[in-house]
């Protein structure tokens, strides 16, 4: 099930050129943020995705609380207004799917959204049933992306997802893990199955994936979604006591959230990061990371050195 | 769950502290004035603890069973399950405890808490008083709004502590059977609050531990007395 590696590589080079051009134009434009969100193509499909998506773990699980639901939908409104597309959820996330479904319906943005969800059941036989329930919760015709959540029974679920993709009931297939778990297994799947996406944890402190997973994703033409970019807020709390370095302005970072996110999405293997929030102020900050200049390799090294001094 | 040892409590928490406490606020608003009925039932149970007779044992068991059933349905299934898929299993545990209380306490009349030494009965009485009158104040005392107060018979934690208080002076083997689910809940509640960073996270596990130690000491003392 090997995939040809040249087309993804060509598309990657094209995307790097687009981002590189933006980086060069940034200073020429007086460091003004670009008007459109920076995007990167899905390597197996060529479709461009904005570099910042929206996660829903914990933040959108608000049950039947109308006030909290309205706040989540407001976050979605700002996300879509700024050009955001990818929203990620899971049947594991309590009421998050329902909240997203309500938001898409109220905002009329279902056609603009890139819907990413997961299958999360140990029973292969119940996978299709769960996916259908998730689709109804979202209120959409089909998912853009379905991922096997935390590799749970992936041997049973991947054939189901590939069959859905072949039948045109799904556009992309992926697998997820978090916080460095089961990387050897992720690598094995990336090498042996024609998956379109892999979702992993990556941030300025947790960089284990740089060694093998991210280069492999480039080689195999697999798009990369980055979860827990802030370690569930812990990274922001850790760094915000310290001043943002003056040179952060050189990469159009106005706050720590953008500093941390730009570090992630500047990696050429990364397709998008999915910070989760229920705050409009925070979603605005996060989205800002998909505008303006991105750090090059030297700058990324400088960013690491700066935060590791804390 | 593969590599389960790599998961921390916070990895398993699927909602924020704000969402969890808002659940109590909305619940309290929606069921008002059921809280008055619940506190009234708590006072009746407390008076039964002082009077202590076979009839009182059955009344207390019936009150507790009704509270456990109410919490199973109104809190666990109707509310908590909207943010925590595990709540349906918690509801099952609460329903089983209610059925055990009905079978052992109401039908068989084995909730005999007046046959114990005075010291352990007094401890049970004050622990029940704590669940009824002090526990609802803990939330507001640590900065949460009054509407988020957790009340006996309405919220799980004070209902569970009140049950532990009743079971503390109960004699006989059935006490251990009835203690299982409340003690497990104390661990679950403590873990949830710990993951949320609540300053009252250790309260439930510590009370469960204290009750288990006192109950074990009481059982040993009774055995020693019988041998002599």
Q: Could you state, in order of their start, the residue ranges of all structural domains in chain A?
A: 49-308
Task: Report the candidate in B106, B110, B32, B100 with the shortest Cα–Cα distance to residue B63.
Answer: B106
Q: Note the pLDDT tens digit of each residue in A294-304.
A: 999 999 999 99
Chain B contact present for A182, CB below 8 A: yes
Backbone CA torsion sign across A288, A290, A291, A295: positive
Q: Note the pLDDT tens digit of each residue in B67-95.
A: 999 999 999 999 999 999 999 999 999 99
Structure tokens that stand for B120 in this block: 């352990």
CA separation, residue A62 to residues A83, A88, A136, B83 (Å): 25, 16, 18, 6
Chain A contact present for B10, CB below 8 A: yes
Residues in B closer than 8 angstroms to A93, CB to CB, are 14
The A residues from 223 to 242 touching B (CB cutoff 8 Å) are 232
**How many CB pairs below 8 Å do chains A and B form together?**
58
Please say if the pLDDT value at position A11 is more than 60: no
**Total tally of structural domains belonging to chain B:** 1
Name the minimum distance, in Å, from the CA of B192 to any CA of chain A.
Answer: 14
Nearest C-alpha in B relative to A94: B83
* Residue B212, domain member (yes or no): yes
Chain A contact present for B195, CB below 8 A: no
* Residue B6, domain member (yes or no): no
Structure tokens that stand for B137 in this block: 């104040």
d(CA B178, CA A249): 64
Residue B177: give the domain boundaries: 14-227
* Residue B8, domain member (yes or no): no
d(CA B228, CA B224): 6
Please say if the pLDDT value at position B2 is more than 70: no
Q: Which CATH number applies to A49-308?
A: 3.20.20.100
Please say if the pLDDT value at position A4 is more than 70: no
Q: What is the pLDDT of residue B52?
A: 67
* Residue B170, domain member (yes or no): yes
| Beta strands across the sheet bearing A272-273 | A86-88, A114-119, A143-148, A170-176, A197-201, A223-227, A272-273
d(CA B62, CA B106): 6
pLDDT tier at A8 (50, 70, 90 boundaries)?
very low
d(CA B99, CA B93): 10
Tell me what the mean pLDDT of segment A194-220 comes to.
Answer: 96
Residue that wins the pLDDT comparison between A36 and A257: A257
DSSP A152: T
Q: Note the pLDDT tens digit of each residue in A217-260.
A: 999 999 999 999 999 888 999 999 999 999 999 999 999 999 99
d(CA A303, CA A17): 22
- For tokens 């049933």, the residue is A129
Name the minimum distance, in Å, from the CA of B68 to any CA of chain A.
Answer: 22
**Chain B interface test: which of A65, A91, A93 (most B C-beta within 10 Å):** A65
pTM, full prediction: 0.87
Please say if the pLDDT value at position B49 is more than 90: no
Q: Which residues pair with A160 in a beta bridge?
A: none
The count of other CB atoms within 10 Å of the CB of residue A45 is 16
Residues in A closer than 8 angstroms to B82, CB to CB, are 63-64, 94-95
Task: Report the candidate in A18, A52, A23, A143 with the shortest Cα–Cα distance to residue A89.
Answer: A143
């Amino acid at each position: 099930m090997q995939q040809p590696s040249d087309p993804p590589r060509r598309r990657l080079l094209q995307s790097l050129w687009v981002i590189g051009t933006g980086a060069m134009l940034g200073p020429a434009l007086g460091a003004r943020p670009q008007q459109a969100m920076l995007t990167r193509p899905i390597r197996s499909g060529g479709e461009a995705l904005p570099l910042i998506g929206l996660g829903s773990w914990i933040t959108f699980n608000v049950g039947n609380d109308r006030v909290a639901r309205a706040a989540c939908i407001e976050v979605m409104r700002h996300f879509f207004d700024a050009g955001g597309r990818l929203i990620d959820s899971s049947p594991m996330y309590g009421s998050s799917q329902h909240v997203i479904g309500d938001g898409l319906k109220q905002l009329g943005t279902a056609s603009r959204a890139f819907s990413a969800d997961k299958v999360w059941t140990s029973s292969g036989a119940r996978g299709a049933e769960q996916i259908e329930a998730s689709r109804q919760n979202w209120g959409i015709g089909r998912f853009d992306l379905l991922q096997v959540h935390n590799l749970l029974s992936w041997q049973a679920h991947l054939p189901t997802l590939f069959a859905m993709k072949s039948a045109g009931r799904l556009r992309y297939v992926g697998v997820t893990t978090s916080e460095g778990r089961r990387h050897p297994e992720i690598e094995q799947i990336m090498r042996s199955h024609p998956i379109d996406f892999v979702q992993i944890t990556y941030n300025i402190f947790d960089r284990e994936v740089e060694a093998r997973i991210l280069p492999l994703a480039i080689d195999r033409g697999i798009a990369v979604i980055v979860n827990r970019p802030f370690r569930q807020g812990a990274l922001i709390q850790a760094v915000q006591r310290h001043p943002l370095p003056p040179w952060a302005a050189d990469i159009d970072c106005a706050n720590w959230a953008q500093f941390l996110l730009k570090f992630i999405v500047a990696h050429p293997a990364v397709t998008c990061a999915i910070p989760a929030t229920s705050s409009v102020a925070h979603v605005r900050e996060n989205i800002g990371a998909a505008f303006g200049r991105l750090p090059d390799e030297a700058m990324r090294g400088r960013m690491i050195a700066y935060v590791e001094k804390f | 769950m593969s590599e389960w040892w790599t998961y921390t409590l916070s990895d398993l928490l699927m909602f924020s502290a704000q969402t969890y406490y808002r659940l109590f606020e909305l619940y309290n608003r929606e069921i008002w004035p059921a809280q008055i009925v619940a506190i009234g039932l708590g006072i009746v149970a407390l008076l039964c603890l002082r009077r202590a007779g076979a009839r009182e044992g059955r009344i207390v068991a019936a009150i507790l069973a009704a509270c456990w059933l109410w919490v199973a349905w109104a809190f666990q299934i109707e509310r908590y399950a909207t943010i925590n898929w595990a709540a349906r299993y918690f509801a099952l545990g609460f329903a089983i405890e209610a059925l055990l209380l009905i079978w052992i306490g109401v039908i068989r009349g084995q909730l005999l808490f007046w046959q114990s030494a005075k010291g352990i009965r007094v401890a049970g009485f004050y622990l029940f008083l704590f669940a009824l009158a002090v526990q609802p104040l803990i939330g507001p005392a640590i900065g949460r709004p009054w509407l988020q107060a957790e009340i006996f018979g309405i919220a799980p934690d004070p209902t569970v502590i009140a049950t532990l208080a009743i079971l503390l002076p109960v004699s006989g083997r059935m006490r251990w059977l009835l203690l299982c689910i409340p003690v497990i809940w104390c661990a679950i509640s403590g873990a949830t609050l710990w993951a949320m960073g609540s300053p009252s996270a250790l309260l439930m596990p510590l009370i469960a531990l204290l009750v288990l130690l006192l109950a074990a000491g009481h059982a040993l003392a009774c055995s020693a007395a019988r041998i002599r």
